[in-house]
Structure 1
Amino acid sequence: MADTIFTDVIPPAAHWSMVVPQGHTLVLTDPDGGANLSMLFYNPNNLLERYNAPDTLKCQHTFKLTQGHCLYSDMGRVFCSITRDDTGWIDSVAGVANKAKVASKWGKRDYQTDRNSWKQNGYDALLVEVAKYGLGKKDLAANLNLFSKVHTDAEGNLQFATGHSKAGNVIELRFEMDTLVVFTTCPHPMNPATEYPRHSVQLSMVKSAAVADDDTCLNSRPENGRGFENNRRYLAHSGHSTGCC
Protein backbone atom coordinates (compact mmCIF):
# COMPACT_ATOMS: atom_id res chain seq x y z
CA MET A 1 0.00 0.00 0.00
CA ALA A 2 1.26 3.46 -0.87
CA ASP A 3 2.00 6.14 1.73
CA THR A 4 -1.06 7.51 3.47
CA ILE A 5 -2.18 10.92 2.17
CA PHE A 6 -4.35 11.62 5.21
CA THR A 7 -6.17 9.87 8.05
CA ASP A 8 -9.25 11.01 9.94
CA VAL A 9 -11.71 9.54 12.43
CA ILE A 10 -15.42 9.99 11.76
CA PRO A 11 -17.10 10.07 15.19
CA PRO A 12 -20.29 8.18 16.05
CA ALA A 13 -23.61 9.47 14.66
CA ALA A 14 -21.75 11.86 12.35
CA HIS A 15 -21.88 12.58 8.61
CA TRP A 16 -19.34 13.76 6.07
CA SER A 17 -18.65 13.94 2.34
CA MET A 18 -15.65 14.30 0.07
CA VAL A 19 -14.58 13.94 -3.54
CA VAL A 20 -12.21 11.00 -3.96
CA PRO A 21 -10.09 11.33 -7.12
CA GLN A 22 -9.81 8.47 -9.57
CA GLY A 23 -6.74 6.40 -8.78
CA HIS A 24 -7.07 6.66 -5.00
CA THR A 25 -8.21 4.19 -2.34
CA LEU A 26 -10.22 4.79 0.81
CA VAL A 27 -9.09 2.54 3.66
CA LEU A 28 -11.95 2.23 6.15
CA THR A 29 -11.32 0.71 9.58
CA ASP A 30 -13.73 -0.31 12.35
CA PRO A 31 -11.66 0.56 15.46
CA ASP A 32 -13.81 -1.09 18.13
CA GLY A 33 -16.11 -3.51 16.31
CA GLY A 34 -19.82 -3.12 15.59
CA ALA A 35 -19.51 -0.05 13.33
CA ASN A 36 -21.89 0.88 10.53
CA LEU A 37 -20.95 3.20 7.66
CA SER A 38 -23.80 4.12 5.30
CA MET A 39 -22.47 5.36 1.94
CA LEU A 40 -23.72 6.89 -1.30
CA PHE A 41 -21.76 7.80 -4.44
CA TYR A 42 -22.24 10.52 -7.09
CA ASN A 43 -20.32 11.77 -10.10
CA PRO A 44 -19.08 15.22 -8.96
CA ASN A 45 -19.00 16.39 -12.59
CA ASN A 46 -22.59 15.28 -13.23
CA LEU A 47 -24.59 14.82 -10.04
CA LEU A 48 -27.39 13.11 -11.97
CA GLU A 49 -25.11 10.06 -12.14
CA ARG A 50 -25.21 8.19 -8.84
CA TYR A 51 -24.82 4.76 -7.24
CA ASN A 52 -27.28 2.17 -8.55
CA ALA A 53 -27.86 -0.72 -6.14
CA PRO A 54 -30.08 -2.88 -8.41
CA ASP A 55 -27.60 -2.79 -11.32
CA THR A 56 -24.66 -3.42 -8.97
CA LEU A 57 -26.26 -6.57 -7.57
CA LYS A 58 -27.87 -7.80 -10.78
CA CYS A 59 -24.82 -7.58 -13.02
CA GLN A 60 -22.66 -9.41 -10.48
CA HIS A 61 -25.28 -12.04 -9.61
CA THR A 62 -25.13 -11.39 -5.87
CA PHE A 63 -27.18 -10.27 -2.87
CA LYS A 64 -24.22 -9.39 -0.69
CA LEU A 65 -21.19 -7.31 -1.66
CA THR A 66 -17.61 -8.04 -0.64
CA GLN A 67 -14.02 -8.17 -1.91
CA GLY A 68 -13.90 -8.64 -5.68
CA HIS A 69 -17.12 -6.75 -6.40
CA CYS A 70 -17.54 -3.37 -8.10
CA LEU A 71 -19.96 -0.56 -7.23
CA TYR A 72 -21.79 0.77 -10.30
CA SER A 73 -23.35 4.05 -11.29
CA ASP A 74 -26.66 4.24 -13.15
CA MET A 75 -24.62 4.93 -16.31
CA GLY A 76 -22.97 1.51 -16.23
CA ARG A 77 -19.65 2.84 -14.96
CA VAL A 78 -17.65 1.64 -11.97
CA PHE A 79 -17.39 4.18 -9.17
CA CYS A 80 -15.09 1.96 -7.14
CA SER A 81 -13.93 -1.59 -6.56
CA ILE A 82 -13.94 -3.44 -3.25
CA THR A 83 -10.31 -4.57 -3.05
CA ARG A 84 -10.44 -5.71 0.58
CA ASP A 85 -13.26 -6.66 2.93
CA ASP A 86 -12.29 -8.30 6.21
CA THR A 87 -15.97 -8.69 7.13
CA GLY A 88 -16.87 -10.83 4.10
CA TRP A 89 -20.32 -9.26 3.70
CA ILE A 90 -21.50 -5.67 3.08
CA ASP A 91 -25.22 -4.98 3.49
CA SER A 92 -26.72 -3.81 0.21
CA VAL A 93 -30.45 -3.67 0.92
CA ALA A 94 -31.48 -2.43 4.39
CA GLY A 95 -31.10 1.33 3.85
CA VAL A 96 -30.97 3.79 6.75
CA ALA A 97 -33.18 4.66 9.71
CA ASN A 98 -35.28 7.82 9.76
CA LYS A 99 -36.23 10.03 12.71
CA ALA A 100 -39.31 7.98 13.60
CA LYS A 101 -37.40 4.70 13.48
CA VAL A 102 -34.67 5.97 15.80
CA ALA A 103 -37.25 7.44 18.21
CA SER A 104 -39.16 4.16 18.39
CA LYS A 105 -36.01 2.08 18.98
CA TRP A 106 -33.86 4.35 21.13
CA GLY A 107 -35.95 7.34 22.20
CA LYS A 108 -36.42 10.82 20.80
CA ARG A 109 -33.38 12.87 19.85
CA ASP A 110 -32.86 16.22 21.57
CA TYR A 111 -29.82 18.27 20.64
CA GLN A 112 -30.70 20.96 23.18
CA THR A 113 -30.43 18.35 25.96
CA ASP A 114 -27.85 15.91 24.61
CA ARG A 115 -25.68 18.23 22.47
CA ASN A 116 -23.24 16.14 20.40
CA SER A 117 -24.53 12.94 22.01
CA TRP A 118 -27.95 13.33 20.37
CA LYS A 119 -29.51 10.43 18.50
CA GLN A 120 -29.01 11.35 14.85
CA ASN A 121 -30.56 9.15 12.15
CA GLY A 122 -29.01 8.04 8.88
CA TYR A 123 -31.66 9.52 6.60
CA ASP A 124 -31.36 13.06 7.95
CA ALA A 125 -27.57 12.74 8.12
CA LEU A 126 -27.31 11.85 4.43
CA LEU A 127 -29.85 14.55 3.55
CA VAL A 128 -27.73 17.21 5.27
CA GLU A 129 -24.66 16.14 3.29
CA VAL A 130 -26.27 15.96 -0.17
CA ALA A 131 -27.87 19.38 0.44
CA LYS A 132 -24.36 20.85 0.37
CA TYR A 133 -24.28 19.96 -3.34
CA GLY A 134 -27.77 21.17 -4.22
CA LEU A 135 -29.33 17.71 -3.90
CA GLY A 136 -32.39 16.68 -1.91
CA LYS A 137 -34.73 13.85 -0.94
CA LYS A 138 -35.25 12.66 -4.49
CA ASP A 139 -31.49 12.15 -4.84
CA LEU A 140 -31.12 9.70 -1.94
CA ALA A 141 -30.75 6.38 -3.72
CA ALA A 142 -30.44 3.00 -1.98
CA ASN A 143 -27.24 3.06 0.05
CA LEU A 144 -24.63 0.58 1.22
CA ASN A 145 -24.00 -0.27 4.89
CA LEU A 146 -20.34 -1.13 5.30
CA PHE A 147 -19.35 -3.27 8.32
CA SER A 148 -22.95 -4.55 8.57
CA LYS A 149 -24.51 -7.82 7.41
CA VAL A 150 -28.19 -8.52 6.67
CA HIS A 151 -29.09 -12.03 5.53
CA THR A 152 -32.25 -14.13 5.18
CA ASP A 153 -33.45 -16.91 7.45
CA ALA A 154 -35.10 -20.16 6.32
CA GLU A 155 -38.45 -18.36 5.92
CA GLY A 156 -36.93 -15.57 3.82
CA ASN A 157 -37.03 -12.91 6.54
CA LEU A 158 -34.22 -10.37 6.70
CA GLN A 159 -31.98 -10.81 9.74
CA PHE A 160 -29.33 -8.46 11.15
CA ALA A 161 -26.07 -10.19 12.07
CA THR A 162 -25.06 -8.90 15.50
CA GLY A 163 -21.31 -8.62 16.05
CA HIS A 164 -20.56 -8.99 12.35
CA SER A 165 -17.62 -6.57 12.19
CA LYS A 166 -14.74 -7.12 14.60
CA ALA A 167 -12.34 -4.55 16.06
CA GLY A 168 -9.70 -3.73 13.45
CA ASN A 169 -11.67 -4.96 10.42
CA VAL A 170 -10.75 -3.09 7.23
CA ILE A 171 -12.64 -2.40 3.99
CA GLU A 172 -10.80 -0.83 1.05
CA LEU A 173 -12.51 0.94 -1.85
CA ARG A 174 -10.38 1.68 -4.92
CA PHE A 175 -11.92 4.50 -6.95
CA GLU A 176 -12.00 4.05 -10.71
CA MET A 177 -13.38 7.54 -11.45
CA ASP A 178 -13.70 10.83 -9.57
CA THR A 179 -16.48 10.23 -7.05
CA LEU A 180 -18.39 12.30 -4.53
CA VAL A 181 -18.66 10.06 -1.48
CA VAL A 182 -21.37 10.82 1.10
CA PHE A 183 -21.46 8.83 4.33
CA THR A 184 -22.71 8.64 7.91
CA THR A 185 -21.77 6.60 10.98
CA CYS A 186 -25.35 6.50 12.30
CA PRO A 187 -26.48 3.06 13.47
CA HIS A 188 -27.93 0.45 11.13
CA PRO A 189 -31.77 0.54 11.06
CA MET A 190 -32.02 -3.15 12.02
CA ASN A 191 -29.52 -3.06 14.88
CA PRO A 192 -31.35 -4.67 17.86
CA ALA A 193 -29.22 -2.94 20.53
CA THR A 194 -31.21 -1.61 23.48
CA GLU A 195 -28.99 1.47 23.77
CA TYR A 196 -28.31 3.81 20.83
CA PRO A 197 -25.15 2.39 19.19
CA ARG A 198 -22.18 4.76 18.98
CA HIS A 199 -19.26 3.60 16.86
CA SER A 200 -16.61 5.61 15.03
CA VAL A 201 -14.89 4.73 11.74
CA GLN A 202 -11.31 5.56 10.77
CA LEU A 203 -10.81 6.77 7.21
CA SER A 204 -7.52 7.01 5.31
CA MET A 205 -6.74 7.87 1.69
CA VAL A 206 -3.84 6.37 -0.25
CA LYS A 207 -2.75 6.39 -3.88
CA SER A 208 -3.90 3.25 -5.67
CA ALA A 209 -1.62 0.96 -7.60
CA ALA A 210 -2.41 0.63 -11.30
CA VAL A 211 -5.13 -1.89 -12.11
CA ALA A 212 -3.41 -5.01 -13.47
CA ASP A 213 -4.77 -7.23 -16.24
CA ASP A 214 -5.35 -10.00 -13.68
CA ASP A 215 -7.09 -7.74 -11.16
CA THR A 216 -9.70 -9.65 -9.14
CA CYS A 217 -12.42 -6.98 -9.38
CA LEU A 218 -11.87 -6.48 -13.09
CA ASN A 219 -12.18 -10.21 -13.78
CA SER A 220 -14.66 -11.46 -11.18
CA ARG A 221 -17.53 -11.09 -13.67
CA PRO A 222 -17.60 -10.52 -17.46
CA GLU A 223 -19.88 -7.56 -16.74
CA ASN A 224 -17.10 -5.91 -14.73
CA GLY A 225 -14.83 -5.98 -17.75
CA ARG A 226 -17.50 -4.06 -19.64
CA GLY A 227 -17.88 -1.64 -16.72
CA PHE A 228 -14.15 -0.88 -16.75
CA GLU A 229 -14.32 -0.38 -20.52
CA ASN A 230 -17.15 2.12 -20.01
CA ASN A 231 -14.87 3.93 -17.56
CA ARG A 232 -11.98 3.90 -20.01
CA ARG A 233 -14.07 5.51 -22.74
CA TYR A 234 -15.59 8.06 -20.36
CA LEU A 235 -12.25 9.05 -18.83
CA ALA A 236 -10.55 9.22 -22.22
CA HIS A 237 -13.27 11.58 -23.45
CA SER A 238 -12.91 13.73 -20.33
CA GLY A 239 -9.13 13.88 -20.62
CA HIS A 240 -8.31 11.62 -17.67
CA SER A 241 -6.21 8.47 -17.63
CA THR A 242 -7.88 5.30 -16.37
CA GLY A 243 -4.69 3.78 -14.96
CA CYS A 244 -6.16 0.48 -16.09
CA CYS A 245 -5.42 -2.33 -18.50
Structure 2
Amino acid sequence: MQIDQQTPEWYRERYNSLRDKALETETMSRAAVAPIDMTESSVLHRETIPGGWYWSTFLPRGQALRLINSSGNNGVSVMVWNADDFSERYNAGDTIKLQWTTCLTTGRVLFSDMGRVLASIIGDSCGYSDTLVGGSTPQSNEKNFDDASLRNTRNNLRLIAGKYGMAQKDVASCITFFSHVSAQADGRLKWIEGDVKPGQHVDLRAEMNLLVAVSNCYHPLSPDTTCVPEPIEAVRWQAPLPAADDFCRTFCDEAKRGFENTDPLFA
Protein backbone atom coordinates (compact mmCIF):
# COMPACT_ATOMS: atom_id res chain seq x y z
CA MET A 1 0.00 0.00 0.00
CA GLN A 2 1.26 3.47 -0.93
CA ILE A 3 1.63 5.99 1.87
CA ASP A 4 -1.02 8.27 0.36
CA GLN A 5 -3.50 5.38 0.66
CA GLN A 6 -2.94 4.91 4.40
CA THR A 7 -6.07 6.53 5.75
CA PRO A 8 -6.96 7.14 9.42
CA GLU A 9 -9.23 4.12 9.20
CA TRP A 10 -6.33 2.00 7.94
CA TYR A 11 -4.15 3.10 10.85
CA ARG A 12 -6.96 2.45 13.34
CA GLU A 13 -7.52 -1.06 11.98
CA ARG A 14 -3.79 -1.77 12.07
CA TYR A 15 -3.51 -0.50 15.66
CA ASN A 16 -6.45 -2.63 16.80
CA SER A 17 -4.97 -5.69 15.09
CA LEU A 18 -1.59 -5.23 16.80
CA ARG A 19 -3.27 -4.58 20.15
CA ASP A 20 -5.43 -7.69 19.93
CA LYS A 21 -2.44 -9.83 18.98
CA ALA A 22 -0.43 -8.45 21.91
CA LEU A 23 -3.26 -9.08 24.37
CA GLU A 24 -3.61 -12.64 23.10
CA THR A 25 0.14 -13.19 23.54
CA GLU A 26 0.04 -11.70 27.04
CA THR A 27 -2.73 -14.01 28.26
CA MET A 28 -1.77 -17.24 26.50
CA SER A 29 -0.12 -20.05 28.45
CA ARG A 30 3.55 -20.63 27.71
CA ALA A 31 5.85 -23.56 28.18
CA ALA A 32 7.96 -23.40 31.32
CA VAL A 33 11.32 -21.74 30.77
CA ALA A 34 14.43 -22.94 32.56
CA PRO A 35 15.77 -20.14 34.76
CA ILE A 36 19.15 -18.59 34.02
CA ASP A 37 20.99 -19.33 37.24
CA MET A 38 23.60 -17.10 38.85
CA THR A 39 26.34 -19.42 40.05
CA GLU A 40 28.91 -18.41 42.65
CA SER A 41 31.68 -18.74 40.07
CA SER A 42 29.90 -16.24 37.81
CA VAL A 43 29.80 -13.49 40.48
CA LEU A 44 32.04 -10.51 39.67
CA HIS A 45 31.15 -8.03 42.40
CA ARG A 46 28.80 -7.63 45.37
CA GLU A 47 27.60 -4.39 46.90
CA THR A 48 25.29 -3.53 49.79
CA ILE A 49 23.19 -0.41 49.20
CA PRO A 50 21.97 1.19 52.45
CA GLY A 51 18.39 2.33 52.78
CA GLY A 52 17.80 5.69 51.11
CA TRP A 53 21.12 5.65 49.27
CA TYR A 54 22.23 5.05 45.71
CA TRP A 55 24.81 3.09 43.74
CA SER A 56 25.94 2.95 40.13
CA THR A 57 27.96 0.57 38.01
CA PHE A 58 29.10 0.05 34.45
CA LEU A 59 27.58 -3.16 33.11
CA PRO A 60 29.15 -4.41 29.85
CA ARG A 61 27.01 -6.21 27.30
CA GLY A 62 26.50 -9.81 28.40
CA GLN A 63 26.90 -9.19 32.11
CA ALA A 64 23.90 -9.18 34.45
CA LEU A 65 22.89 -7.30 37.58
CA ARG A 66 20.93 -9.03 40.32
CA LEU A 67 19.09 -6.85 42.83
CA ILE A 68 18.24 -8.78 45.98
CA ASN A 69 15.45 -7.27 48.05
CA SER A 70 16.80 -8.67 51.29
CA SER A 71 14.08 -7.31 53.61
CA GLY A 72 11.16 -6.95 51.24
CA ASN A 73 11.34 -3.20 50.65
CA ASN A 74 8.47 -1.76 48.66
CA GLY A 75 10.44 -0.50 45.72
CA VAL A 76 13.97 -0.28 44.30
CA SER A 77 14.36 2.20 41.44
CA VAL A 78 16.63 1.75 38.42
CA MET A 79 17.71 4.07 35.62
CA VAL A 80 19.80 2.90 32.64
CA TRP A 81 21.93 4.74 30.08
CA ASN A 82 23.94 3.56 27.07
CA ALA A 83 27.46 3.74 28.52
CA ASP A 84 28.92 4.54 25.08
CA ASP A 85 26.54 7.46 24.53
CA PHE A 86 24.70 8.86 27.55
CA SER A 87 22.21 10.65 25.29
CA GLU A 88 20.56 7.24 24.75
CA ARG A 89 18.66 6.19 27.85
CA TYR A 90 15.78 4.12 29.20
CA ASN A 91 12.44 5.26 27.83
CA ALA A 92 9.45 4.23 29.94
CA GLY A 93 6.87 5.23 27.32
CA ASP A 94 8.45 3.24 24.50
CA THR A 95 9.07 0.25 26.76
CA ILE A 96 5.36 0.10 27.58
CA LYS A 97 4.07 1.04 24.14
CA LEU A 98 6.28 -1.29 22.10
CA GLN A 99 5.46 -4.30 24.29
CA TRP A 100 1.81 -3.42 24.86
CA THR A 101 2.05 -3.94 28.61
CA THR A 102 2.94 -2.25 31.88
CA CYS A 103 3.73 -5.66 33.40
CA LEU A 104 7.51 -5.75 33.05
CA THR A 105 8.78 -9.04 34.41
CA THR A 106 10.70 -12.09 33.18
CA GLY A 107 10.85 -12.12 29.37
CA ARG A 108 10.35 -8.41 28.88
CA VAL A 109 13.02 -5.91 27.85
CA LEU A 110 13.87 -2.27 28.59
CA PHE A 111 13.86 -0.12 25.45
CA SER A 112 15.89 3.01 24.87
CA ASP A 113 14.57 6.18 23.28
CA MET A 114 16.19 5.02 20.02
CA GLY A 115 14.26 1.77 19.66
CA ARG A 116 17.10 -0.42 20.88
CA VAL A 117 17.15 -2.91 23.74
CA LEU A 118 19.19 -1.75 26.71
CA ALA A 119 18.53 -4.69 29.03
CA SER A 120 16.50 -7.87 29.35
CA ILE A 121 14.70 -9.05 32.48
CA ILE A 122 16.02 -12.62 32.61
CA GLY A 123 14.74 -13.36 36.11
CA ASP A 124 12.16 -11.88 38.46
CA SER A 125 11.01 -13.75 41.53
CA CYS A 126 8.69 -10.92 42.60
CA GLY A 127 6.86 -10.33 39.32
CA TYR A 128 5.82 -6.75 40.02
CA SER A 129 7.36 -3.50 38.86
CA ASP A 130 6.15 0.00 38.06
CA THR A 131 7.25 2.17 35.17
CA LEU A 132 4.36 4.66 35.27
CA VAL A 133 4.73 6.62 38.49
CA GLY A 134 8.49 7.16 38.59
CA GLY A 135 10.69 7.31 41.68
CA SER A 136 10.17 9.06 44.99
CA THR A 137 10.60 12.83 45.30
CA PRO A 138 10.83 15.36 48.15
CA GLN A 139 7.12 15.97 47.64
CA SER A 140 6.21 12.28 47.95
CA ASN A 141 8.35 11.98 51.10
CA GLU A 142 6.63 15.00 52.60
CA LYS A 143 3.26 13.44 51.86
CA ASN A 144 4.14 9.94 53.08
CA PHE A 145 6.46 10.71 55.99
CA ASP A 146 5.91 14.41 56.66
CA ASP A 147 9.61 14.95 55.92
CA ALA A 148 10.72 16.33 52.57
CA SER A 149 14.37 16.21 53.69
CA LEU A 150 14.56 12.41 53.49
CA ARG A 151 16.64 10.98 50.66
CA ASN A 152 14.63 10.29 47.52
CA THR A 153 15.07 8.67 44.13
CA ARG A 154 14.77 11.79 42.00
CA ASN A 155 17.67 13.49 43.77
CA ASN A 156 19.67 10.25 44.01
CA LEU A 157 19.49 9.78 40.23
CA ARG A 158 20.41 13.41 39.63
CA LEU A 159 23.47 13.00 41.84
CA ILE A 160 24.56 9.92 39.90
CA ALA A 161 24.03 11.70 36.58
CA GLY A 162 26.12 14.63 37.76
CA LYS A 163 29.01 12.35 38.71
CA TYR A 164 29.20 11.19 35.09
CA GLY A 165 28.96 14.66 33.58
CA MET A 166 25.25 14.53 32.81
CA ALA A 167 22.65 17.15 33.64
CA GLN A 168 19.14 17.13 35.07
CA LYS A 169 17.70 16.73 31.56
CA ASP A 170 19.48 13.38 31.25
CA VAL A 171 17.43 11.82 34.09
CA ALA A 172 14.21 10.45 32.66
CA SER A 173 11.43 8.54 34.42
CA CYS A 174 12.83 5.35 35.94
CA ILE A 175 11.51 1.84 36.53
CA THR A 176 10.87 0.73 40.11
CA PHE A 177 11.07 -3.00 40.78
CA PHE A 178 9.34 -4.79 43.68
CA SER A 179 6.37 -2.45 43.27
CA HIS A 180 2.84 -3.77 42.74
CA VAL A 181 0.93 -0.81 41.34
CA SER A 182 -2.42 -1.30 39.64
CA ALA A 183 -4.50 1.08 37.52
CA GLN A 184 -8.05 1.47 38.82
CA ALA A 185 -11.22 1.85 36.75
CA ASP A 186 -11.21 5.61 37.32
CA GLY A 187 -7.59 5.92 36.16
CA ARG A 188 -6.02 6.22 39.62
CA LEU A 189 -2.91 4.21 40.39
CA LYS A 190 -3.08 2.16 43.58
CA TRP A 191 -0.57 0.08 45.53
CA ILE A 192 -1.67 -3.54 45.99
CA GLU A 193 -0.34 -4.77 49.34
CA GLY A 194 1.06 -8.16 50.32
CA ASP A 195 3.03 -9.14 47.21
CA VAL A 196 6.60 -8.06 48.01
CA LYS A 197 8.50 -10.57 50.13
CA PRO A 198 12.02 -10.60 51.65
CA GLY A 199 14.68 -12.25 49.52
CA GLN A 200 13.02 -11.72 46.15
CA HIS A 201 15.29 -10.67 43.32
CA VAL A 202 15.37 -9.38 39.75
CA ASP A 203 18.07 -10.02 37.14
CA LEU A 204 18.84 -7.54 34.35
CA ARG A 205 21.08 -8.71 31.49
CA ALA A 206 22.88 -5.93 29.62
CA GLU A 207 22.20 -5.99 25.88
CA MET A 208 24.37 -2.89 25.38
CA ASN A 209 27.23 -1.46 27.42
CA LEU A 210 25.31 0.19 30.24
CA LEU A 211 25.58 2.64 33.06
CA VAL A 212 23.08 1.45 35.67
CA ALA A 213 21.89 3.61 38.56
CA VAL A 214 20.11 2.08 41.56
CA SER A 215 18.21 4.04 44.21
CA ASN A 216 17.18 2.17 47.35
CA CYS A 217 14.13 4.30 48.18
CA TYR A 218 10.48 3.35 48.63
CA HIS A 219 8.04 3.66 45.77
CA PRO A 220 6.00 6.91 46.08
CA LEU A 221 2.78 4.90 46.61
CA SER A 222 4.33 2.46 49.08
CA PRO A 223 2.31 1.90 52.27
CA ASP A 224 5.49 1.77 54.37
CA THR A 225 5.42 3.86 57.52
CA THR A 226 9.13 3.61 58.40
CA CYS A 227 11.13 6.47 56.96
CA VAL A 228 14.23 4.57 55.81
CA PRO A 229 14.22 1.27 53.85
CA GLU A 230 16.40 -1.67 54.80
CA PRO A 231 19.63 -2.34 52.84
CA ILE A 232 19.51 -4.30 49.58
CA GLU A 233 22.24 -6.23 47.77
CA ALA A 234 23.45 -5.70 44.21
CA VAL A 235 25.41 -8.46 42.50
CA ARG A 236 27.13 -8.05 39.14
CA TRP A 237 27.63 -11.42 37.41
CA GLN A 238 28.55 -12.94 34.08
CA ALA A 239 25.44 -14.27 32.33
CA PRO A 240 25.75 -17.11 29.80
CA LEU A 241 25.50 -16.27 26.12
CA PRO A 242 21.87 -16.11 24.97
CA ALA A 243 20.70 -19.21 23.11
CA ALA A 244 18.92 -19.02 19.76
CA ASP A 245 15.60 -19.50 21.55
CA ASP A 246 16.41 -17.07 24.36
CA PHE A 247 13.16 -16.21 26.15
CA CYS A 248 13.64 -12.43 26.12
CA ARG A 249 14.84 -12.30 22.53
CA THR A 250 11.88 -14.31 21.22
CA PHE A 251 9.12 -13.22 23.61
CA CYS A 252 7.34 -10.93 21.12
CA ASP A 253 7.77 -9.44 17.66
CA GLU A 254 8.54 -6.01 19.09
CA ALA A 255 11.44 -7.37 21.14
CA LYS A 256 12.78 -9.21 18.09
CA ARG A 257 12.84 -5.94 16.14
CA GLY A 258 14.51 -4.20 19.07
CA PHE A 259 17.34 -6.73 19.02
CA GLU A 260 17.62 -6.37 15.25
CA ASN A 261 18.33 -2.68 15.89
CA THR A 262 20.76 -3.43 18.74
CA ASP A 263 22.90 -6.39 17.71
CA PRO A 264 24.55 -4.77 14.64
CA LEU A 265 26.24 -2.30 16.99
CA PHE A 266 28.24 -5.20 18.41
CA ALA A 267 28.70 -7.34 15.30
TM-score (norm 1): 0.88
Provide the C-alpha distance between the structure 2 equivalents of 1:77 and 1:189, rounded to a whole number of angstroms. 28
Counterpart check, 1:131 vs 2:162: yes
Is 1:200 matched up with 2:231? yes
Aligned with 1:49: secondary structure? coil
2:195 is the alignment partner of 1:164? yes
Paired with 2:126 and 2:140, the residues of 1 have a C-alpha distance of 26
What CA distance in whole angstroms lies between the structure 1 residues aligned with 2:176 and 2:182? Answer: 13
Segments of structure 1 that go 5 or more residues without pairing to the other structure are 111-118, 237-245
Alignment of 1:27 onto 2:66: yes
Structure 1 residue 154 displacement after superposition? 3.4
Query: Do the aligned partners of 1:40 and 1:182 also contact (CA within 8 Å) in 2?
Result: yes
Distance, in Å, in 2 between the alignment partners of 1:155 and 1:99 is 26
Three-state SS of the structure 1 residue aligned to 2:94 is helix
* Matched residue count: 228
- Once residues 261 and 197 of structure 2 are traced to their aligned partners in structure 1, the CA distance between those partners, rounded to angstroms, is 36
CA drift at 1:195: 2.9
CA distance in 2, matches of 1:72, 1:155: 28
In the TM superposition, residue 35 of structure 1 has moved relative to its aligned partner by 4.0
- Same amino acid, percent of matched pairs: 34
Gap regions ≥5 residues in structure 2? 1-37
Q: 1:182 aligns with which of 206, 213, 224?
A: 213
Q: Give the corresponding residue for 2:115.
A: 76
Distance of 1:35 and 1:102 partners within structure 2: 14
- Do the aligned residues in 2 keep the contact of 1:90 with 1:144 (CA within 8 Å)? yes
In the TM superposition, structure 1's runs of 4+ consecutive aligned residues that sit over 3 Å from their partners are none
The residue that corresponds to 1:6 in the other structure is 45
User: Under a length normalisation based on structure 2, what TM-score does the superposition of the two structures give?
Assistant: 0.81
SS at 1:68 equivalent: coil
Structure of larger gyration radius: 2
* Alignment-derived partner of residue 229 in structure 1: 260
Counterpart residue identity of residue 80, structure 1:
A
- Higher relative contact order by CA 8 Å / sep ≥ 6: 1 or 2? 1
In structure 2, the residue matched to 1:44 is 83
Structure with greater helix share of residues:
2
CA distance in 2, matches of 1:175, 1:96: 22
- Does residue 143 of the first structure (1) align with residue 170 of the second (2)? no
Which amino acid is 1:54 matched to?
G
Q: C-alpha distance in 2, partners of 1:195/1:9?
A: 20
Q: 1:17 aligns with which of 36, 49, 56?
A: 56
Q: Calculate the aligned-residue CA RMSD, in Å.
A: 1.5
Q: Residue type of the partner of 2:93?
A: P
Question: Could you tell me which amino acid in structure 1 is paired with residue 218 of structure 2?
Answer: P
Equivalent in the alignment of 1:88: 127
Task: Supply the AA of the counterpart residue of 1:208.
Answer: A
